Structure 1
Amino acid sequence: MFSSITRFKRLLVFVALAVMLTITFETAQQLYYINRYEIAFGVTFFELLKEQSYQWILWMVLGFSLFSYIKHTKSETNSRAYYVKLILSILGLVVLNILIISILQMTFNGVSFSGSLFFNEYIVFYIFQKAPMYTLGYIAISGILHLYFSNEKLQIKVQQLSDVKVANELLYEKLSAYTDDKAQVLTIKIGNKKRVVPVAQISWIESDDYCVKVHTEDGDSLSMRTSLKALEGKLGANFLRVHRKAIVNMDFVKEFTLANPPKIILHTQDEIQVSKSQLKGVRDFLGTLEIS
């Protein structure tokens, strides 16, 4: 909340500075033309600044309705109707600005109201002097507000996703106390069919080019398009890598011999060579087991 208020204050400061620079520029520009073409005499910078200031303050006050409109319709920014209404709102605000300024200026000058004078001298003058700047200003403000509220929506979405992530992590921690994330079955494609093999029935797995052969306790040998490395992370702690080409289900181990070369003999009578690099791991694993 605090960071949101800070961003909004920064936005207001930015808009205020932009308006101040615009007022100063227009005042200097108007003074230049008055002096250059001798339109009037004795006009000072601060007199013109005062006149420009109230006109732009009016522009800002009326512009708050634009802020309110964009804020309350920020969920509709993907629709064409939203942009049509926004453009019409900007044009309406510009017209309203010109009407009010013309009336005020006519009053300040002490001129009796006349429809033709009001339109020809004031409305037309301020259309050429103010309408382009006012329109561009409102468009710029609309763009800034659109980006601001889009960022706000994005921050809310990120926070929601963060909350979901935290909730899922807590749920995972609770569930992991009762189960693990290791595979319980392997799904192996055979022709146009898929066979589901319980991991507990797999005696060992060997590498076979770009595939692996999954050997089961029933003596079946099923080809599966994957790698030993990919399977190793999915299998339980009882599956041990004994060779670069073999993973063994240590629950099926019947004998372990240190003959040259060392090998494991399974209850299925399969014999799997143990590599030197994996020998220590196999011995450590079997050191806690009674081999029958």
Structure 2
Amino acid sequence: MYLLNYIKTHKRILILIVSVLLLTITFETSQQLYYIKRFNLGGDATFFILLKNQAFRWFVWVVLSAVIFYYIQSTKIKKDLTFTHVLKYASLILGLVILNVVIISINQMLTYDDTFTISNLTNEYLPFFMFQKAPMYTLGYIAITIIMHLYFANEQLQIKVQDLSELKLTNARLYTQLKDRVDDRTSVLNIKIGNKRKIIPVNEVLWIEADDYCVKVHTVDKNCYTMRSSLKALLPKLDTNFLRVHRKAIANMTMIKELSMSNTPNLILNDNTEIPVSKSHLKTVKDFLSDH
């Protein structure tokens, strides 16, 4: 299945490989024919006879290269080659090269009707083809091993990227579903006082006053705490009962006793503190009071 998918998605690369292979076969055939003619080795060898022999030898090489493909495909590939990987690949390549040489040596003996003996095979044919074909076969298998290793390593990386992408989409969907249900507003204010921290429940806050780059938090127990923040940054963290009523004030609307409309609008808190209400925020304050 992997082999078929690889062929479909890498047609251009495979066409290039096949072209190089055909050129190699043609070159080796021409080279062999040249030596036969040049050194008068005799025989009735022709270009097409030699071409057939060379094609068979490289066909065997191609068929056995599938072993490399399936071995790498079934192995857990990592991007970085370890010494163990290199050792296993080297052993596999060496074994395939020897198997190639044995097969084409036996085929050569049978083709020329030579006497088939172990002595003849090991003393004549195996050494000849080992020197003639082993270097090219080895280089070819090394190239295929590197290509296959990189291909499957990249494939596993793509799978991990896809998994992470799907996880991201899942988390985004969950966030969209839950963001309206989850109230991420703070229930306390954490205020640093010297080397200590004061935790103030927001339901004990009367109002918050802007003071340069800080704010003053006024509480029901008549205390006032300075907090390094701004009204704009603080408001989204507070409960919806807190309203911006002035450019310098946020009021806890649950602590409001009344809205005074004399001269200038003011909110009167339960402790009789008066907080000015700007014209731009007056409608918001009225709407809130009318709804509650």
Query: Do they superpose with TM above 0.5?
Result: yes
Residues of 2 paired with 1:132 and 1:5: CA distance? 22
Residue 122 of structure 1, CA deviation: 0.8
1:98, 1:131 within 8 Å by CA — same for their partners in 2?
A: no
Q: In the alignment, what sits opposite 1:258?
A: 261
Amino acid in structure 2 at the alignment position of 1:58? V
User: Offset at 1:123?
Assistant: 0.4
Q: What amino acid is aligned across from residue 127 of structure 2 in structure 1?
A: N
Match of 2:47 in 1: 43
Task: Show the counterpart of 2:125.
Answer: 118
1:233 is paired with a residue whose SS is helix
**One-letter amino acid of the structure 1 residue matched with residue 101 of structure 2:** L
Task: List runs of 5+ in structure 2 lacking aligned partners.
Answer: none
Q: Mark the CA change 1:180 to 1:153 in structure 2 (over 3 Å): closer, same or farther.
A: closer
Matched, 1:138 2:145: yes
CA contact (8 A) 1:205 1:215 kept: yes
Q: Distance in 1 between matches of 2:131 and 2:89?
A: 22
Distance 1:159 1:213, change over 3 A: same
Cα deviation for residue 103 of structure 1 reads 2.5
For residue 223 of structure 1, what is the aligned residue in structure 2?
226
> 1:178-257 alignment to 2 at 5 Å?
180-257=183-260
State how far apart, in whole Å, the 2-side matches of 1:278 and 1:6 are: 69
User: Shift of residue 238 of structure 1?
Assistant: 0.9
Determine if contact 2:72/2:148 at 8 Å carries over to the other structure: no
CA contact (8 A) 1:71 1:149 kept: no
CA distance in 1, matches of 2:76, 2:282: 66
Q: How many equivalent residue pairs?
A: 281
CA deviation string 1:108-143 (max 9, x = no partner): 344443423234321011123332122112211221
Tell me which residue corresponds to 2:71.
69
3-state SS, counterpart of residue 267 of structure 2: strand
Check the 8 A contact 1:253/1:267 in 2, yes or no.
Answer: yes
* Amino acid across the alignment from 1:212: V
In structure 2, what residue type is equivalent to 1:62? L
The CA deviation string for residues 54-93 of structure 1, in whole angstroms up to 9 with x for no partner, is 4444344433433443344326666835533453345335
User: Is 1:129 equivalent to 2:136 in the alignment?
Assistant: yes
Write the distance in 2 (CA, Å) between the matches of 1:148 and 1:35. Answer: 44
Normalised TM-score (structure 2):
0.77
CA distance in 2, matches of 1:6, 1:273: 77
Who wins on radius of gyration, i.e. which is larger? 2
Moved more, 15-24 or 31-40: 31-40
Matched residue of 2:237: which SS? coil
Distance 1:86 1:22, change over 3 A: farther
Indicate how the Cα distance of structure 1 residues 133 and 69 shifts in structure 2: closer, same or farther if over 3 A, else same: closer
Q: 2: CA distance between counterparts of 1:198 and 1:104?
A: 91
> 1:239 deviation in Å?
1.0
Q: Distance in 1 between matches of 2:84 and 2:251?
A: 65
Structure 1 position 282 matched with structure 2 position 278: no
Letter in 1 for 2:132: F
- RMSD of Structure 2 on Structure 1 (CA): 3.6
- For 1:152 and 1:286, how far apart are their aligned partners in 2? 56
Alpha-carbon distance between aligned partners in 1 of 2:20 and 2:149, rounded to the nearest angstrom: 17
Q: How far is 1:240 from its partner?
A: 0.9
Distance 2:82 2:25 in 1: 38
CA contact (8 A) 2:33 2:50 kept: no
> What is the 5 A alignment of 1:25-104?
25-34=23-32, 38=37, 42-44=46-48, 48=51, 50-51=52-53, 53-74=55-76, 80-104=82-106
Structure 1's unaligned 5+ residue stretches are none
Aligned-pair identity (%)? 30
> Secondary structure of 1:204's match?
strand
